Homo-oligomer: A and B are copies of this chain.
Amino acid sequence: MPRSRSAPTIHDVAAAAEVSVSTVSRVLNAKEDVAAATFARVQGVIEALGYESSMAARGMRSSSTQVIGLIMPDMDHSYGIEVIKAASRVITGTAYDLVAMTCGSKHHAERGRWQQQRVRRLNGTITDGVIVVVPDVASFDTDYPLVAIDRMVAGATYASVSSDNQGGALAVMAYLLGLGHTRIGYVDGLEFLESAAHRRAGYLAALEAAGLPVDPSLIQPGDFKRSAGRVAMRHFAALADPPTAIFACNDDMALGVMEEAQLLGIKVPEALSVVGYDNVPEAANARPALTSVDQGIEPMVQMAIELLLELISGRERGGDSARMQEQIKMPSRLVVRDSCMTPAPRPDRQMPSRKATAKPVAAQPATAQQATAKSIKKGGEAPLHA
């Protein structure tokens, strides 16, 4: 056997099996019209040679590669990693393979260009469709199967699935209000991200629904970093009428809030309740364990992949799928841990309509209802979109 050091091609297989390349191709693709004996012989040669068809050539000719791409800004952030892990798990159950690619976490401004470039690069050549994580652009100029995960910008022309940020925020607020808090501070996120905007909208909507006033001094800006939580905490502590609970737009900031509170001698949860968002692993390890909102990355990714596969098969069947621009919202889940409790009664301030519910005995962390409060607010998505 002429041991060619470079990978064998379909021609090598054909020659060794003494058939034409067409027949080998038919065997590879499990087509009809090939005799059982021939089929077995060719398959044997394939095994023997360790032949594997070139996905580049195959993809070029048949525009079906059985590979889906995952494009993300970077792989340093834990969120992206979670997505990869979930996608890796989900894809195992399908006939597809997964390739992950970063699009260089360049400056925010030019990231859109990079995403476009990556999408185009994969498009129609080595993948049958792509999932883009946290896209920065409103539209990709292609009709090839694509679904975005999280943080669609308003008016996106592509399919996307993201978590119900507003619903999650509403769940947090319902929980906090239910505990008896009426002064709830909010640490905001970067305003140009839809996720942050929706969470904030949930915070405001919940206040309004509860008939509580919106106090601007209770809303502090943030950038998702831990340090922002710390400065926000310092600000809140300096207030004449400080909040009894703080809802931070993400866990990192909530952790920052807790750190700074400890430094200031404010005990969590006794003197201050804190809630985060994202349910990162550190949330469970914090002291006290941080109550947070779990976005359920895995079901989100699963949904995205299912939708993508449907788009792909729909495209193969001809006409454009009706779901090409579908925007799916996944429910979030409030994970109650130890960082919240009923607010301590404040002697200097009279509670108009409440009786003395806050007996000292009630002063224990509210860990009873473990991770139950589902926040499936079905119709709660309109207010933000104009």
Measured CB to CB, the residues of A under 8 A from B are 5-7, 50-52, 54-57, 59-60, 74-76, 81, 84-85, 88-89, 92, 97-102, 104, 116-117, 120-126, 141-144, 285
Contact = CB atoms under 8 A, between A and B. Distances in A.
Contacts of A50: 116, 120, 141
Given A57-B125, A84-B84, A120-B52, A99 B101 contact: yes
A84 B98 CA distance: 14
Nearest to A60: B56
Contacts of A57: 56, 60, 125
Contacts of A76: 85, 88-89
Contacts of A125: 54-57
Contacts of A102: 88, 98
17 contacts: A5-B142, A7-B123, A51-B120, A52-B121, A54-B124, A55-B121, A56-B57, A56-B60, A56-B126, A60-B60, A74-B88, A76-B85, A98-B101, A99-B100, A99-B101, A100-B100, A285-B285
Contacts of A100: 75, 84, 99-101
The 5 closest A-B pairs by CB, nearest first: A56-B125, A52-B120, A56-B56, A75-B88, A54-B125
Given A75-B88, A85-B81, A89-B76, A7 B120 contact: yes
A75 B6 CA distance: 29
A59 B191 CA distance: 42
Contacts of A120: 7, 50-52
Contacts of A89: 76
B55 A126 contact: yes
Contacts of A60: 54, 56-57, 60
Contacts of A104: 92
Nearest to A140: B50
Residue among A54, A116, A124 facing the most chain B CB atoms (10 A cut-off):
A54
